Structure 1
């Protein structure tokens, strides 16, 4: 197991999402992601999968993973370039980024992708990434199951 010091932009180049007003969306099953998650669907994708998405304006710090083609909106940052890294590992890594230290001081918080791509990170070798991802995926699945059970019990 080895870990390398590098920058976020060298393991997943975050890019600005794409404009897509609600009036221009067509019925479909392609998820449309804003800074707060899925906010609708469209009939065409802007990017292929896998894709990690996080907020660029408004909601900062939430991270989403899409295992199918999707449309990240202009309020988000996304990456489909993982430079040989495990995409799901990058998803978990992005959850550890101190996003608030990269926000601009304004009425609506925002992040400059050029600044956050310089964020120092430590990245494991691919075999270690795969092993860590397998464990974290199982924990995340258990959390999701527990949340669904809680929702069911609250509704009853």
Structure 2
């Protein structure tokens, strides 16, 4: 008799050996609809659409963190929504049930092939019913927490490196302006110590 394949990842945290459970998404999350924001005033509550942040208003749809997934348009770019927030009517927001961690749901949404569940022949779209019936494997809540902390820590590190990259790009751009002569002169604005002579003007073919 063939050995039954274990329903769990090959790489686990120490102490976790039990199988993951196969569940429909409606067992671990609640799908909520976004709403129009145009009747609201400007404020400090972020409004999200399928493309991300749009603007800020003075009211909220949720007091708890959630995961956004497109109802229409962009359906394969899940968003982690930090409460409080508002979502437009083209973006569902999914809150976690007691047996699940919202950050783990966000990670889970990133590996689901959402385009496979597209219900339209035109503009891509998803329904609550379709999302609810998707089946996936889920560990116990404590293992979910370990996994989500690992990946959110990696995301924070990536964001720090992205900001560092942006800062270094700006520094490079500024140095290119100051360490090379401008059109009206032959000396750069900024120079290394002990270099004072003018730069020579030459044709590119000579160098």
Q: Return the TM-score normalized by structure 1.
A: 0.90
1:15 paired to 2:44: no
**Which structure carries more relative contact order (alpha carbon 8 Å, separation 6+)?**
1
**1:31: Cα distance to partner?**
1.0
Q: Return the TM-score normalized by structure 2.
A: 0.69
Q: Which has the higher strand share?
A: 1
Q: Which has the larger radius of gyration?
A: 2
Number of residue pairs aligned between Structure 1 and Structure 2: 154
Equivalence map 1:104-115=2 (5 Å): 104-115=119-130
1:67 paired to 2:82: yes
SS state at 2:61 partner: coil
SS state at 1:145 partner: helix
For structure 2, list consecutive stretches of 5 or more residues without a partner in the other structure: 1-15, 172-207
SS state at 2:153 partner: helix
Structure 2 Cα separation of the partners of residues 150 and 108 of structure 1: 36
Q: What residue number does 1:121 align with?
A: 136
SS state at 1:117 partner: helix
Give runs of ≥4 in structure 1 deviating > 4 Å.
none
Question: What do the CA deviations read for 1:36-69 (whole angstroms, capped 9, x no partner)?
Answer: 1111111110122111111111112111122321
Equivalence map 1:2-151=2 (5 Å): 2=18, 3-21=20-38, 24-151=39-166
**1:15: Cα distance to partner?**
2.5
Structure 2 Cα separation of the partners of residues 71 and 106 of structure 1: 29
**1:142: Cα distance to partner?**
1.1
